[in-house]
Amino acid sequence: MVSHDVLIIGAGLAGMRAAIEAARQGLNAAIVTKVHPVRSHSVAAQGGINAAIGENDSWDAHAFDTVKGSDYLGDQDAIEIMCKEAPKDILELDSMGAIFSRDEKGRIAQRPFGGAGFPRTCFAADRTGHALLHLLYEQVVKCGIGIYEEWFVLSIVIEDEKVCGIIAMDIRTGILHRLQAKAIILATGGYGRVYRNSTNALINTGDGMNLALDAGAPLMDMEFVQFHPTTLKTTGILVTEGARGEGAYLLNSIGQRFMSKYAPNALELASRDVVSRAEQQEIEEGRGIDGCVLLDLRHLGEEKIKERLPQIRSLAIDFEGIDPVKEPIPIKPGAHYSMGGIKTDLSGATKVKGLFAAGECACVSVHGANRLGGNSLLDTIVFGRRAGISASIYAKENNIKEFPDYQLKETAHSIAVITNRRQGERGSVIRDELANIMIKNVGVFRDKERLFAAKEKIKELKERYNHVYLEDKGDIFNTELLETIELKNLLTIAECIVLGAINRTESRGAHFRLDYPKRDDETWLKHTMFYKKDDEIKIDYKDVAITKHKPMERKY
Ligand SMILES: Cc1cc2nc3c(=O)[nH]c(=O)nc-3n(C[C@H](O)[C@H](O)[C@H](O)COP(=O)(O)OP(=O)(O)OC[C@H]3O[C@@H](n4cnc5c(N)ncnc54)[C@H](O)[C@@H]3O)c2cc1C
């Protein structure tokens, strides 16, 4: 059987950064990914990555902005680490050859971003993720790290409460393989596709969070889902916050710059939850245009738009037929980011021995109830590196464990049950209904009635999932089968989001309850923990780590 010291699942920024670290420690590291590495969702990141490298900036100020942005739910010890280590990590990326945009003095340029008290977002025009993902892929190739490309991980194998490997399908052949490993790092990204309107790639289905739950590692804070304020009307494609960072503003149907009502100081650069709610309120109170508000860039001028926001311009032209040089862009809030995820400690370790997690699938937690723009790319780099180091230390101290046979049989059986079914319902219908109920009932605004209706609907969809059948019975590139497995993962994620949201009778960050519109620190200054027992989700709570910033009212 093939074996590795450290096996990384996911080839986004977090996975590749972790793999590089394991290779640097002289270990046999390999990456398993369901798509080619540079197709990971990290490639779509636009606006930039934060670090306090400016002359008058400090990591302390960055940490405070992040704590405030998180609505005081972020763990302050983790936030301090991220902000303190950020400058060194950015300079390392620069020295690897990252093509960061420059200011007039040739230094790495920084733009203002939402919720930040200082312009501290480093960027490569509006294609930062593209630049960084290709950069790390080059490094992975240079280090000779093996990549199982277009392999879909189906389960993590645990024996005596320790990881011993994974079972994955080679998508090209449909054959199941066992890969042994001393340590495993989950870096599988988010679950944005649980929602109808989403900026996320189709592959973002929360697979890793499900792998962790099944392996016995809890998830944390799943009720907190970030809605990005500016996504294109018909496709949900993202228009970066960098557009507002460069000076674009929001207008309603009567031409009002409405953010002055909701965030008189920060205006369009208030944090994302605040701006998304303001837009949704304008739309629901009849001051929208066809379910949207307008993002106006025209005053920035053609030259600046072409230099700083070239991708935004081409996306608006190609997908909406609108040239932002000449017309404002209709936009609306869309599901964007998973604040919650696999609970890890500061070194990326989960509750299960040998299992680590980093990036969007993990919850350290640095984003709390609301993530600041530019902090997620940073999270992938800082905590990807840290998880790579701690998984390597673990791998050096532990031997390869015997790989039990039964799990391969069980996994093969669970797939055969689906492929052998002769009749039933198509998974795509269930997936559609799930995405619709989630955006309608568990979106920017929530309340008891809508949440309970969503809970009932998910229960019904889970039941219907037991009768799902495939038209494609083949082995080679059976994407229908993969989508069906992803659907199961999406259903569990949706269940966690809804259960967490029902219990949390307060409003904090991205979780806004119309029936409980105030933050309630007395009862709810705590993390929600999600466990899976006998195929049921169980909930528990955990304290927030507070170092020096006592919770205050959050105003922008
Ligand atoms: C459109 C968009 C723009 C963004 N812009 C910014 C920005 O400007 N700044 C910022 O800070 N953040 C931004 N974000 C957020 C940020 O890009 C992501 O949170 C981050 O890139 C996630 O990286 P990751 O390494 O955790 O996962 P990803 O890049 O999502 O990679 C996940 C990997 O896991 C693999 N995988 C998943 N499931 C399986 C499985 N079952 N088997 C095998 N492999 C699997 C995939 O193949 C992939 O390689 C943006 C997000 C989006 C959607």
pLDDT confidence of residue 403:
87
Q: Could you tell me the distance, in angstroms and rounded to a whole number, from the CA of residue 131 to the centre of ligand 1?
A: 14
| Coil, strand or helix at 549 | coil
The residues that bridge with 249 in the sheet, in sequence order, are: 296
* Top mutation candidate among 121, 134, 188, 363 for ligand 1, by most atoms within 8 Å of CB: 188
Distance, CA of 197 to CA of 206 (rounded, Å): 16
What DSSP assignment string belongs to 253-313?
Answer: TTS--THHHH-TTTGGGS-HHHHHHHHHHHIIIIISBTTBEEEE-GGG-HHHHHHH-HHHH
Active site residue 272: yes
Strands (DSSP E) contained in 134-215 are 146-149, 151-159, 162-170, 175-186
Q: Given CA atoms 251, 313, 280, 228 in this order, what sign does their dihedral have?
A: negative
Tokens 């709390």, located at residue: 368
- pTM passes above 0.95: yes
User: What does the alpha-carbon distance between residue 43 and residue 131 come to, in Å, rounded to a whole number?
Assistant: 8
Minimum-distance ligand 1 atom for the alpha carbon of 358: 26
**Cβ–ligand 1 contact at 231 (below 6 Å):** no
- Distance (angstroms) between ligand 1 centre and the Cα of 275 equals 23
Tell the residue nearest (CA) to atom 20 of ligand 1. Answer: 42
Q: What is the whole-number distance in angstroms between the Cα of residue 40 and the centre of ligand 1?
A: 6
Q: Work out which ligand 1 atom sits closest to the CA atom of 362.
A: 26
Catalytic residue, candidates 17, 272, 308, 385: 272
Residue 365 near ligand 1, beta carbon < 6 Å = no
371 Cα: distance to centroid of ligand 1 (angstroms): 15
Amino acid making up residue 132: L
Q: How far apart are CA 392 and CA 105, in angstroms?
A: 40
Q: Whose CA is nearest to atom 33 of ligand 1?
A: 10
The reply to whether ligand 1 has any atom less than 6 angstroms from the CB of 49 is yes
Strand order in the sheet with 536-543: 362-363, 341-343, 219-220, 526-533, 536-543
Give, using CA atoms, the residue closest to atom 14 of ligand 1: 45
pLDDT of residue 375: 98
Task: Give the distance from CA 156 to its chain's centroid.
Answer: 21
The list of the chain residues with pLDDT below 50 reads: none
C-beta 16 within 6 A of ligand 1? no
Q: 50 C-alpha vs ligand 1 centroid, how far in Å?
A: 17
Q: In whole angstroms, give the CA distance from residue 458 to residue 438.
A: 9
pLDDT tens-place string over residues 417-458: 999 999 999 999 999 999 999 999 999 999 999 999 999 999
Predicted local distance difference test score (pLDDT) of residue 404: 87
Quote the strand ranges of 430-492, DSSP E: none
